[in-house]
Amino acid sequence: MTVADSSCVQTLYATHHRWLHALLRRRLNNAFDAADLAHDTFIRVLKRPQVFDGETHERSYLATIARGLCIDHWRRRQLEQAWLDTLAAQSQAVHPSPEQRAIIVETLYEVDAMLQRLPQRVRDAFVLAQLQGLPYRAIAEEIGVCERMVKKYLAQALMHCAMLEAELDGLLIQ
């Protein structure tokens, strides 16, 4: 079966939606989140046409997409919880509005996703510089490279940050 037109996706959905929802409900322990991720899985199928060799291949493909979405879901929840924990430690006077909170959590998620795409040493150098405020020499010692490499790593990370900012600006303007 080729998932390239809506009738094939409808068939795939009708055949496997109940199974996929049950799988996700077991993984997430939440029927509502499972329904959302099952929906998102089929949206991804629509975006990436695929040729299947049978029902086993269809389910394998759907499970692979759903697994990635679960990982994203859990990572997002961890980030959101860390933000809420930090916010709880602050005075009520500095608490952002619900809209601002949603934007902050989304931005944190995007920054985390950007950091995950960076090579490990680049990510480590960036975190040490930005979050811990370490100077280049200390970062170099910490990750086992010369100061020149630290500068190169930070330039690479900052380029990714600039690209993320441009993407977010484009999303916020539209």
CATH of the domain at 156: 1.10.10.10
What mean pLDDT is predicted for residues 130-140? 93
Count up the domains in the chain and report the number.
2
Q: Indicate whether 71 and 116 sit together in one domain.
A: no
In a domain, 91, yes or no: no
Q: Indicate whether 19 and 75 sit together in one domain.
A: yes
pTM: 0.68
Q: How many residues does the chain have?
A: 174
The predicted structure's pLDDT at residue 25: 96
The predicted structure's pLDDT at residue 2: 46
Domain containing 166 equals 96-173
CATH number at residue 65: 1.10.1740
In a domain, 90, yes or no: no
User: In this predicted model, what pLDDT tens digit does every residue of 39-95 receive, in sequence order?
Assistant: 999 999 888 877 777 788 899 999 999 999 999 999 889 988 988 888 888 888 778
Q: Indicate whether 20 and 70 sit together in one domain.
A: yes
